[in-house]
Amino acid sequence: MHRYQILIEYVGINFIGWQIQSKGNSIQKLIQNKISKLLKEKISLIGSGRTDKGVNAWGQSAHFDTKKKIINVKKFIQSLNFFLNQKLISITEIKKRNLNFHARYSAKERIYEYIILNRIAPASLDKNKVWHIKKKLDLEIMKKGAKKLLGTHDFSTFRASNCYSESPIRTMKKINIKRINKKVVIQFKSRSFLRNQVRSMVGCLKYLGEKKWNLKKFTEVFKSKKRTLCAPPAPSHGLFLEKVIY
């Protein structure tokens, strides 16, 4: 048996998310079917984690096992992408791994990035890949709010009601907020995240940046552990799974 890791880039707007579900087109199912046809055997594709409907990725990671050794990796990637790229999915790399490697459980860190287009004019080139906010955001107060989220905490406030994780406790290792031209880029690093956690944190940081909340209100909402007090989550299309670190 041979195990391979694949790195995947995709635009999530036309999918129900990464995970195979009973209805709808998922990214996992589409890639799994294409690999199965190329290798002429039933393949099970295991991802590093679920991304929700509309969420994008620059560096999703997954693995699969096959009875056959892939001799020509370059040709295999090209054949896969011939079919997948029509759906705005690309396999960027394939790596041979030992059988102890697991795309999900071997991951040490995951990096997500959220992109806000902060200007009067809506997006054209980046349509469905950024969150358009007209009012200029105060990055200094957003950075102060982000510092409150660092470390190990109960993140129940930012947890979706249908989250499948056993515990709301997570350790936020790094949050970086920067302005690049008219874009505000927020990067989050943690070993794992709760469902909707990143989008919910961005929604609350946006309230800070717009001066709808002050720092005291932001902290109270976070510490309350009450989902009902959370600001509306940021839309999924501005979120990217940037990288999974092993």
Cα diameter, the chain: 59
CA dihedral 12→80→90→73, nearest 10 degrees, is: 140
Active site residues: 52
User: At a CB cut-off of 8 Å and minimum separation 6, what does 201 contact?
Assistant: 149, 158, 188
Angle, CA 26 vertex, CA 237 and CA 99 arms, to 5°: 110
User: At a CB cut-off of 8 Å and minimum separation 6, what does 7 contact?
Assistant: 59, 60, 61, 91, 92, 93, 94, 95
